[in-house]
Amino acid sequence: MTNDMPSFPHDLHEEIDTRLEAFAENPDWDETSLFLNTYQATRDIEDADECPQSWVTQMRRWWIQLGCYLEMTEEDLANTVVTRGKKYEFQIRGRKYQFDRHPTGFQT
């Protein structure tokens, strides 16, 4: 897991900032977890219908760096059974990834 905040393009950063401002209006807002709030904002952006594919790819690469998603081996794929859908959540450049865990914040 990396301690670095993502280096996204300006327009994606603006969208994340807009989401973070909306989060701040919530009385339960915890401004000390900017890292986790940024992660949640990127998840929300990905779910939006108007999200550009280039943003999705960049956000997914960050999630991989965080350790939220792991690359699946051929053995993983062979041993995974699904009743419908894919055995993996997404792929980038032919590498397939599955969700592993939510981030917990910066490592110390």
12-47 pLDDT, tens per residue? 999 999 988 888 888 777 766 777 888 889 999 999
Tell me what pLDDT residue 102 has.
81
Is the residue at 38 inside a domain? yes
Question: What does the pLDDT read at residue 22?
Answer: 86
pLDDT value for 26: 81
Which helix (H) or strand (E) is 95 found in, with range? strand 95-99
pTM of the predicted model, to two decimals?
Answer: 0.79
Question: Does residue 4 sit within a domain?
Answer: no
Q: Higher-confidence residue: 51 or 104? A: 51
In one-letter notation, the amino acid at residue 43 is: R
- Establish if 104 belongs to a structural domain: no
The answer to whether residue 86 sits within a structural domain is yes
Which residue segment(s) compose the domain that 45 sits in? 10-99
> Would you tell me the crossing angle of helices 10-24 and 53-66 to the nearest 10 degrees?
70
**CB neighbour burial string for 61-97, b if at least 16 within 10 angstroms, e if fewer:** ebbbebebbeebeeeeeeeeeeeeeeebebeeeeebb
Percent of the chain with pLDDT over 70: 89
Q: Domain count of the chain?
A: 1
